[in-house]
Amino acid sequence: MTRVPARGLGRGALAVALLGSIAAFSSPAAAADKAAILLPGSINDQSWNALGYQILKSLESHGFTTAYSENVGDADEAEALRDYASQGYEIVMGHSGRFVSAMQQVAPDFPKTQFIAVSGNEGADPNVMSIDWNNAQFGCQLGLLAARMSKSHQVGGVYGLQGVPNITAQAGGFRICAEKAGAKVSIVYVKDMEDAAGAKEAALSLIGQGADVITGKLNAAETGLVQAAKEKGVYVTGRGFDQTEIAPDLVLTNIIEDWPGMFGSTADQVKQGKLFGTFVQYGYDTAPVTGASLWYEKDKAFNPVVPADVAKEVSDLAGQFQSGALKVEPTDNDARPGT
């Protein structure tokens, strides 16, 4: 494992990540508290692994010295986790749910270390946890918004990683709430979360079948949905303000994820001696840290084309989720491909 001094990186569409074999990065070792992350890819990918890097860097404001290893293969996960834990890192993260198994293997040997899977969906007592935002709640909001903004009463979703719990939650939540609002829903899964061209082709197919509002949950490929919408003049939702800039007249809103808020809240508690062995899911019912928010641009939740009554109806769902009056629990069937 090669260690290099900390350096800042530019901000990508979702976040950050570097090419190469496993490499480690660390900032000056002045602080007593240390946090590290294992990444399955490069911090320069301007997508999923870049996001992991940004999550890590956000912990520096909470008093943590940080380090990372990138391009960590399945066979190297346990060794890399063990390496950081043995060096006294209080928080050791893995950037996806795939790291949970290795964490469960290593954690018993390091009972004072908090192991965290980013965007996983399970934990293990006393010190292996997963953190994610409530995809079902936000998928439901997008479903209602899409149904209300559709003139054809047909809406579509493009997703990757079929069967992964948070994808099932968002795609299923979208279908449940769009259908409840009177829209016909079609869902397509693509093979590559990073392939914008493939995502664009899938979106164009849905548009060709009559869908006039498109949504989805992809990484770099999300841009392809916006490009398809712009080409055909239909509405779309995104995952970043850069997508609003591509098609400002057509992007209705974006799910802006608050990973620093989620991890900062957890890190502060770990510093105080608390350990977690569960799946912690942030949503409207965990306010003030909700895990994500809907934003069209920094001072507006929705595109001005969204009528005020529709914006209010979608926003009101947040209060229903917060109070517990509304719960959405999507199944695999809700997230199924096709109509």
Write out pLDDT tens, residues 288-310.
999 999 999 999 999 999 999 99
- Residue 233 is predicted with a pLDDT of 98
Residue 276's Cα: distance from chain center in Å? Answer: 20
Q: What is the DSSP letter of 246?
A: H
Question: In the numeric block, which tokens belong to residue 140?
Answer: 């439901």
The answer, yes or no, to whether residue 7 has pLDDT greater than 80, is no
> What string of DSSP letters covers 183-209?
-EEEEEEES-TT-HHHHHHHHHHHHHT
* Lowest mean pLDDT, pick from 15-24, 153-162, 212-221, 241-250: 15-24
Distance between CA atoms of residues 96 and 314, nearest Å = 30
Average of per-residue pLDDT values in the chain: 91
Distance between CA atoms of residues 257 and 280, nearest Å = 15
3-state secondary structure of 94: strand
* Lowest mean pLDDT, pick from 10-19, 159-168, 220-229: 10-19
Mean of pLDDT values over 227-256 = 97
pLDDT-based confidence at 46, cuts 50/70/90? confident
The answer, yes or no, to whether residue 18 has pLDDT greater than 70, is no
pLDDT-based confidence at 4, cuts 50/70/90? very low
The answer, yes or no, to whether residue 13 has pLDDT greater than 90, is no
Q: What is the pLDDT of residues 89-130, one digit of tens each?
A: 999 999 999 999 999 999 999 999 999 999 999 999 999 999
Mean of pLDDT values over 273-282 = 96
For residue 146, the tally of other CB atoms under 10 A from its CB is 29
pTM: 0.88
- Residue 201 is predicted with a pLDDT of 98
* Lowest mean pLDDT, pick from 43-47, 113-117, 154-158: 43-47
Strands 23-26 and 64-69: antiparallel
* Percent above pLDDT 90 for the chain: 90
Mean of pLDDT values over 8-26 = 35
Domain limits of the chain?
2-118, 135-257+291-323
Mean of pLDDT values over 304-326 = 98
Question: In the numeric block, which tokens belong to residue 64?
Answer: 């943590």
Mean of pLDDT values over 129-146 = 98
pLDDT-based confidence at 27, cuts 50/70/90? very low
CATH no. of 135-257+291-323 = 3.40.50.2300
CB 230 within 8 A of CB 205: no
The answer, yes or no, to whether residue 226 has pLDDT greater than 60, is yes
Helix (H) or strand (E) holding 242: helix 241-246
The answer, yes or no, to whether residue 21 has pLDDT greater than 80, is no
Burial of 152 (C-beta count, 10 Å sphere; 0-12/13-18/19+): middle
Q: What is the DSSP letter of 175?
A: H
Helix (H) or strand (E) holding 257: strand 251-257
Question: Which is the CATH superfamily of the domain at 2-118?
Answer: Response regulator (3.40.50.2300)
Mean of pLDDT values over 322-335 = 97
Distance between CA atoms of residues 77 and 41, nearest Å = 13
Q: Tell me if domain 2-118 and domain 135-257+291-323 are identical in fold.
A: yes
